[in-house]
């Protein structure tokens, strides 16, 4: 390979990686004149290194873009997943002891927030759920609010509401659940019952897929 002096441009042939103290690395006449060691450069080797670096940066950018695209796809399908669940869950046997299955729902709002945890609110025959990114919790909160609509707001978080919420969860999950000690623990224990297996059986991705 040609090693070229940056000052006088004289070239010497040397291997691509000569030893650090190889005299061909240095231009001795220019070193003599300038009073300090003048190092030759190897343009073809530098070009190769640059090309490799550019390829690596491009590769990293492509993988970042793929990751971002998957993250965006994962987020954008979430409202649709929630609405599918809400409409499936509108007709649970748990909603009516009288054999009436359909939830008497006047209106609902499903929002998707950026936080991890979901929140919800029910009034009259309406509810609002703001789903977070942690999907099992959002599903448990959705069912929580639907249970409020089913039993009526006057029941609050009492035994009747707990009973219906638990029955609805058992129906959705297709297995019985143990009642938690108090109503505060209900939503988190029902969230925990939405296992990764259940989620994947229902085509719900808990986290964005890896690149
Ligand atoms: Zn020189
Ligand atoms: Zn509540």
Give domain limits for the chain. 2-73, 77-201
Closest ligand to residue 8's CA? 1
Closest ligand to residue 5's CA? 1
Q: Give me the CATH topology for the region 77-201.
A: Zincin-like (3.30.2010)
pLDDT in tens, 197-211: 999 999 898 887 776
What Cα–Cα distance (Å) separates residue 198 from each residue in 17, 46, 78, 151?
58, 55, 16, 26
- Dihedral of CA atoms 89, 198, 76, 135 in degrees, nearest 10, equals 80
How remote is the CA of residue 32 from the centroid of ligand 1, in Å?
9
Pairing of strands 119-123, 126-131: antiparallel
Integer Cα distance of 137 and 143 in angstroms: 10
- Residue 93 near residue 113 (C-beta atoms within 8 A): no
pLDDT in tens, 117-163: 999 999 989 999 999 989 999 999 999 999 999 999 999 999 999 99
How remote is the CA of residue 144 from the centroid of ligand 2, in Å?
6
pLDDT at position 114 is 85
Closest ligand to residue 38's CA? 1
Integer Cα distance of 29 and 37 in angstroms: 10
pLDDT confidence band for 98 (50 / 70 / 90) = low
Neighbours of 153 (CB within 10 A): 13
Which of 13-22, 56-65, 123-132, 141-150 bottoms out in mean pLDDT, i.e. has the lowest?
13-22
How remote is the CA of residue 44 from the centroid of ligand 2, in Å?
70
Q: What is the largest CA-CA distance in the chain?
A: 104
- Residue 164 near residue 150 (C-beta atoms within 8 A): yes
Of residues 41 and 181, the one with the higher pLDDT is 41
How remote is the CA of residue 197 from the centroid of ligand 2, in Å?
27
How remote is the CA of residue 5 from the centroid of ligand 2, in Å?
78
pTM: 0.73
How remote is the CA of residue 133 from the centroid of ligand 2, in Å?
20
């Amino acid at each position: 390979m040609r090693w070229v002096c940056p000052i006088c441009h004289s070239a010497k042939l040397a291997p691509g990686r000569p030893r650090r103290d190889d005299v061909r690395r240095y231009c001795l006449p220019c070193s003599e004149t300038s009073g300090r060691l003048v190092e030759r450069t190897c343009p073809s080797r530098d070009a190769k290194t640059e090309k490799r670096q550019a390829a690596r940066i491009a590769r990293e950018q492509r993988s970042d873009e793929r990751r971002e695209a998957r993250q965006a796809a994962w987020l954008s399908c979430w409202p649709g997943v929630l609405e599918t669940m809400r409409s499936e869950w509108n007709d649970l046997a748990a909603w009516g002891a009288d054999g009436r299955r359909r939830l008497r729902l006047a209106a609902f709002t499903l929002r998707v927030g950026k936080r991890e945890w979901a929140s919800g609110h029910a009034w009259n025959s309406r509810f609002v759920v703001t789903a977070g990114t942690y999907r099992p919790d959002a599903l448990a909160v959705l069912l929580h609010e639907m249970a409020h609509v089913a039993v009526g707001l006057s029941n609050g978080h009492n035994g009747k509401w707990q009973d219906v919420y638990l029955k609805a969860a058992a129906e959705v999950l297709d297995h019985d659940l143990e009642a938690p000690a108090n109503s505060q623990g209900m939503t988190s224990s029902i969230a925990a019952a939405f296992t990764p297996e259940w989620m994947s059986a229902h085509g719900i991705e808990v986290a964005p897929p890896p690149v």
